[in-house]
Structure 1
């Protein structure tokens, strides 16, 4: 993809600031309810190969462009790692470029995992951090204390209405990406040298656990 180096650099920078599938997602959307409200519903599908532990989540999302520059995002997911915050973002490729929708298992590197940087050429850079409170810019990409948490059963519900958020002009051109897999089910995102997956670092830096940043769900429509 012609914009892949720029997208990967931007994504890595966004996560760095914050720290200081099975198949490609369904790309269809429902009909707009009116001329003033553009509403798009997507399936959220698993990103990782089936043999990646604790990665078989699923979900849905609705991205609704409201009048006066407001945007409402709803995320509902099942099967996530329980009792943990999950970083979530709107991703996309600005301008005339088109993204490649969501990555599937084939996007995994030699380590067998689809990392943040493996996925970036598909869904683009971060446009908005879907935090529950406070800042929503890419600088909050991994502000885990402000993202929604899953419950004891791995269920997560999120909804927030954003006002005057830059980065996109149409709710139908973004991808919703959910991150975070507790591979060893020890209740935290941390390094565990005894586990073949939890022992690994994020593609964004050696000091960051892979568990905290790895994408688990993705859905949206290619712009």
Structure 2
């Protein structure tokens, strides 16, 4: 898994960095508890059509802008593919433009799946990789050995405080996106030529399984 992760990370880094140039969102959110801490909570909603296997998860996230440029992100999700790492990111669109929030099933392409590239026009590019340890830049977009894992029931809990996240001390300008669906339920992100979904490549690179990169949950801003 570790060697495979390094290869995937190298392959997607360029795509993730390229996407991160896309605008910053402004939309409704819950109230701020004080002048020093801005706290925003959102539901995490399923992105995929209901006929996509293993895709109907749910969850919630809280993003807190703390003093001194720190940003705390908490993610809790249920119904994810079990016993697997799930890449998670803060997405956004730097600048004055308003993004289109989270995609839904209608954003699926002709293949019936909402891919990374289908979702990018809605929630923008990667601002921060929500890894559990180490680098948090877009270059760690699929460093699967450093993302939180779901348990045997598909439950995932994640919390990390980031220091000096560029441009995102305002926690109300980001989307949280969770990736990864084990379509065929074999316990791995891998190609399976006999499965109509697991046989497909990622929209980022034909050498990467769609399972590893496909978005499953999204929340934040205007959703």
Q: TM-score, normalised by structure 2?
A: 0.88
**CA drift at 1:169:** 4.0
Structure 2's unaligned 5+ residue stretches are: 1-11, 19-26
Question: For residue 62 of structure 1, what is the aligned residue in structure 2?
Answer: 62
Q: CA deviation at 1:165?
A: 1.5
Q: CA deviation at 1:98?
A: 1.1
Q: Is the 8 A contact 1:90 1:174 kept in 2?
A: yes
Q: Which residue of 2 aligns with 1:19?
A: none
Asked if 1 retains the 8 angstrom alpha-carbon contact of 2:41 and 2:62, the reply is: yes
Distance 1:103-1:12 versus aligned 2 partners, 3 A rule? farther
1:219 — aligned with what? Answer: 219
Match of 1:146 in 2: 146
> What per-residue deviation string (whole Å, max 9, x for no partner) do you get for residues 184-216 of structure 1?
000000000000000000000110000000000
- The number of residue pairs the alignment matches comes to 204
* Matched-pair contact (CA < 8 Å) for 1:11–1:117: no
Secondary structure at 1:206's aligned position in 2?
coil
Task: State the distance in 1 between where 2:136 and 2:102 align.
Answer: 22
- The Cα offsets for residues 11-31 of structure 1, whole Å up to 9 and x where unpaired, read as 862279xxxxxxxxxx75322
Which whole-Å deviations, capped at 9, do the CAs of 1:30-53 have from their partners, x for residues lacking one? 221111100000000000000000
Name the counterpart of 1:200: 200
Give the match's secondary structure for 1:118: helix
Partner of 2:9: none
- Per-residue CA deviations over 1:120-165 (Å, capped at 9, x if unaligned) read 0000000000000000000000000000000000000000000011
Aligned equivalents of 2:17, 2:86: Cα separation in 1: 14
1-structure distance, mates of 2:155, 2:178: 13
The match for 1:44 is: 44
Give the equivalent residue in structure 1 for 2:189.
189
Distance 1:193 1:179 in 2: 21
Partners of 2:200 and 2:35 in 1: CA distance: 48
